[in-house]
Structures are given as C-alpha cells and as structure tokens.
Amino acid sequence: MKTSEDYLSGQVLLIDKPLNWTSFQVVNKLRWEIRQALSIKKIKVGHAGTLDPLATGLLVICTGKMTKQIDTFQGQIKEYTGTLVLGSTTPSFDLETEINETFPTDHISEDLIYKTTNQFVGEIQQFPPVFSALKKDGKRLYEFARAGEHVDIPSRAVSISEFEITKIDKLNLDFRVVCSKGTYIRSLANDFGKALNSGGHLSALRRTKIGDFDVTSATSIENFIKNLSSE
C-alpha cells in the first residue's frame, strides 16, 4: 500500500493512455486523483514523452522526486505499432485532419513495400508535422497550421533501428517501429507514402515500449484510480 510519502519521494507509473486523451490531460487527472486520495496539497507529476491524442499506449508518469528522471526516460529508445494508409495524405499526417489529396497506387506491389522500408532504417532526416506541439518563435506549430499560416520547419536527424511491415491489407499497412527520441511516426507515414511515389498517412498508433518499460505492464487510468482509492 503506497502512502503520500511514497508518491512525494517519487514513483514511476506506467499508464496505458486511452484514445482522444492528451498526455497533459492524463498528467492533470492523475495529479488531481493522487492529491484527493492521499490529502496531498502539492505534488509534482510529469510524463516522459508526449503521445498524440489519437495515439494510445505507454505513458511513463513520474511523481515527486522521480520527476528529475524524466529527461533520462525521454531519451530512451521507443517502440510503436500502428497502421498507415497508402494513396492519400492529410495535413496533419494522421486522422486529426481530413484527406486533402489522393494518389495512384496501382504501381505499388507487396515486394516494393517491403523493399522501401530499408530506406528508413538508420539515421534519417525528418521534417516534424506542422500539426505538432513543437515551438517556433514562442508559438506551437499547430497554432500556425490551424491559422493557415505557412512556417518553415527545419529537418532533424532521427534514428530508426527497426521498421517492419507486419501485415498488408490492400492499402492498409500494419507496422512496428523502434526509434530514437524525437521521431515522428506521422512524418514516417507521410514520407513512406512519398517514397512509394504515392501518398500515406497514419490511421492508428500505439506506443508499446520506452526503454525497458513495456505497455504490457501498464494500467488504465480507471484501474489506477480504483487502486489508489483502496490504498
């Protein structure tokens, strides 16, 4: 049974983030629940790596003094699974925005799909999505994007150690990626479509690992709250 002192001294919580929640909302919810259940006036709570609202999976949440370890956890290798759709693009590179362009796909074979993954293994240059929380001139990129303002974003070097297509269902490709901090899987989906002389966007994403932390060890927000109230 964990006490208020345990949470203040520092805990690492593995949460399976649900769809349509922001990482910030998860942190706020857990902070509020911990404070209420254990009568703590103030406690630090933070996450080690943002997940987009349309992504699910592993969020590493740190409390109290363990928040000092957030940068260390953020820098660790991450694994994702998901689905990308060929033949069309969206401005956000995922389903946050509507399809804005379609492309031919008749020339794409399964063999070409598998071979093209090789282009994305190793250190690659990647442009972050314009619909992202990165800041430029003190403003989030998605704020520029939603206002219809163009903004130049420099590319960045990221490292992908594994990229495999696990299932092909017509234009829907299931995949698994192991990558460095700062990799945008939405950008990978968009770039993969371009490499096939077509288009591509992300339709589903799930983070399965951060370093040695695995989503199979994570708990839902509901279960965390239930266990917290019984402590």
Which tokens go with 207? 């983070």
pLDDT at residue number 229: 74
Q: What CATH number did the domain enclosing 69 receive?
A: 3.30.2350.10
Active site residue 94: no
Q: CA-to-CA distance for 187 and 176, rounded, in angstroms? A: 15
Neighbours of 66 (CB within 10 A): 21
pLDDT at residue number 158: 96
Q: How confident is the model at residue 129 (pLDDT cuts 50, 70, 90)?
A: confident
pLDDT beyond 80 at 122:
yes
Same domain for 113 and 70: no
Same domain for 85 and 157: yes
- The stretch 198-218 carries a mean pLDDT of 98
Range of the domain at 196: 78-210
pLDDT beyond 70 at 191:
yes
Same domain for 152 and 221: no
Same domain for 100 and 157: yes
Same domain for 172 and 115: yes
Residue 64 corresponds to which amino acid? G
What is the SS3 string spanning 4-58?
HHHHHHCCEEEEEECCCCCHHHHHHHHHHHHHHHHCCCCCCEEECCCCCCCEEEE
Same domain for 122 and 35: no
Q: CA-to-CA distance for 191 and 106, rounded, in angstroms? A: 18
Q: What is the domain count for the chain?
A: 2
Q: Considering only CA atoms, which of 45, 52, 47 is closest in space to residue 73?
A: 47
Q: Which of 52, 71, 191, 212 is catalytic?
A: 52
pLDDT at residue number 148: 67
Same domain for 44 and 10: yes
pLDDT at residue number 128: 82
pLDDT at residue number 127: 86
